[in-house]
Structures are given as structure tokens and as C-alpha cells.
């Protein structure tokens, strides 16, 4: 530690170049993409905010939403956030087996979230309350569906990384960057979900 503290920042960076995991241009670029995604979700939330009372004689959120289901979905996504965090910490400790285990746990949680959501959507559509029923439901399916689609993409990405990690890439610097990007993506989706359960579901049943 003392040795490290006496070194100039540049020497420090050179010394640890390979393993010291500084923010790279890739991760910053991905962060910028997430910020545009933020604006995308902002626009869909704005549309939902305008159309949330346009029921066209159809059912309102109060009649449609099952808060127990939403609570379970919220818990699952929150747990998946922390399990991905454990995967990140194990990746830093170069413990590949535990990274794969925690990623698998995260994947199962993410998949059950998507499963619950698909189940909710199909039962709503089966009852004739699909996105074509009213402007409110169009906005609802667009917003929640876009989030669900993001989660699905995150799951596919997670499987790809797990397969790559078992190959020659192992936990290389490149793989660490990929894991850092997916980490940002996954935690970002949980943030979007905070807004979904607060302003779509909870505000919708009041």
C-alpha cells in the first residue's frame, strides 16, 4: 500500500495497466447509449402520462392490475440486481466459477420476471384487454413491453457472455469490459422498473 501511494498516478497506471480496471472508452460509450435509452423511456413515459386516463369505455388500471404480481416482479428484479452485483465482484476477484453461478442465478431471476410479465400480458389480451382496447392500454403495453423487451435482450446477452467466458476469453480485460457494460444495462433496467411500478402500476390503482 505504502509503495503504491508514493508512485505517481502515471506510473501507477502503467504498472497495473492490465489488471487495474479503469473506466474504458467502451464502457463510457455504453453509458452514453444508456443515456439515450433514458430519453427513449422518458418519451414513452410522457406518452403514458398523457393517455393514462383515456379508457375509451374500457377497463382502468384499478380493474386490471394485480399488485401482488407486480410486487413479486419488483422483488425478482431487485434480487437479480444484487446477484449481478455479486457476479461483478467475483469477476474482479477472478473467480470464474462463482461468476458463472451468479450470472446463472441472475438469468433465472430475469427469465422468471419476463415469464410473469408475458403471463400478465397474455391473460389481459385473452380477456379482450389488449393494446387495441384503449389509448391507455396502448400506452401501457408499449411502455411495459419496451421494458420487458430490454430485459429479454439483457438475458440473451447474459447467455452469450456466459458461453464466451467458458471459452478462450475467460476473464480477460475484454470480457471484464463486456461484463461492466451488461452490469450497467441490467442495473439501468431496474431503475426504469422503479418508475414503471411507481407511476404505472401503483399510481394506476389509486
Q: Which residues of the shown chain bind another protein in the complex (CB under 8 A)?
A: 1, 4, 16, 19-23, 28, 31-32, 35-36, 38-39, 41-43, 45-47, 49-50, 67, 71, 74-75, 78, 81-82, 85-86, 88-89, 92-93, 184, 187-188, 190-191, 194-195, 197-199, 202-203, 205-206
Q: Compute the least distance from the CB of residue 140 to another protein, in Å.
A: 16
Q: Residue 166 or residue 191: which is nearer to another protein going by CB? A: 191
Q: Compute the least distance from the CB of residue 101 to another protein, in Å.
A: 15
- C-alpha 50/C-alpha 47 separation (Å) is 5
Burial of residue 85 (number of CB atoms within 10 Å: 0-12, 13-18, 19+): middle
Q: Residue 42 or residue 128: which is nearer to another protein going by CB? A: 42
Q: Residue 125 or residue 184: which is nearer to another protein going by CB? A: 184
Angle at 174 between CA 15 and CA 79, to 5 degrees: 110
Q: Compute the least distance from the CB of residue 36 to another protein, in Å.
A: 8
Name residues whose C-beta falls within 8 Å of residue 50's C-beta, 6 or more positions apart in sequence.
Answer: 139
Q: Compute the least distance from the CB of residue 147 to another protein, in Å.
A: 15
Angle at 174 between CA 169 and CA 180, to 5 degrees: 115
What sign for the dihedral angle of Cα 150, 151, 156, 161?
positive
Amino acid at each position: 500500500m505504502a509503495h503504491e501511494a508514493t508512485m505517481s498516478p502515471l506510473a501507477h497506471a502503467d504498472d497495473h495497466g492490465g489488471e487495474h480496471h479503469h473506466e474504458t472508452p467502451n464502457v463510457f460509450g455504453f453509458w452514453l447509449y444508456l443515456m439515450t435509452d433514458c430519453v427513449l423511456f422518458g418519451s414513452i413515459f410522457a406518452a403514458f402520462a398523457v393517455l393514462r386516463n383515456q379508457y375509451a369505455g374500457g377497463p382502468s388500471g384499478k380493474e386490471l392490475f394485480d399488485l401482488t404480481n407486480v410486487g413479486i416482479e419488483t422483488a425478482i428484479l431487485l434480487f437479480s440486481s444484487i446477484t449481478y452485483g455479486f457476479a461483478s465482484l467475483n469477476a474482479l476477484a477472478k473467480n470464474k466459477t462463482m461468476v458463472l453461478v451468479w450470472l446463472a442465478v441472475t438469468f433465472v431471476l430475469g427469465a422468471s420476471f419476463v415469464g410473469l410479465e408475458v403471463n400478465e400480458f397474455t391473460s389481459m389480451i385473452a380477456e379482450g384487454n389488449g393494446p387495441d382496447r384503449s389509448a391507455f392500454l396502448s400506452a401501457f403495453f408499449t411502455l411495459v413491453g419496451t421494458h420487458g423487451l430490454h430485459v429479454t435482450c439483457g438475458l440473451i446477452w447474459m447467455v452469450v457472455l456466459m458461453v464466451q467466458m467458458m471459452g478462450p476469453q475467460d476473464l480477460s480485460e475484454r470480457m471484464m469490459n463486456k461484463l461492466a457494460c451488461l452490469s450497467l444495462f441490467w442495473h439501468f433496467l431496474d431503475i426504469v422498473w422503479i418508475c414503471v411500478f411507481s407511476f404505472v402500476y401503483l399510481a394506476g390503482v389509486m
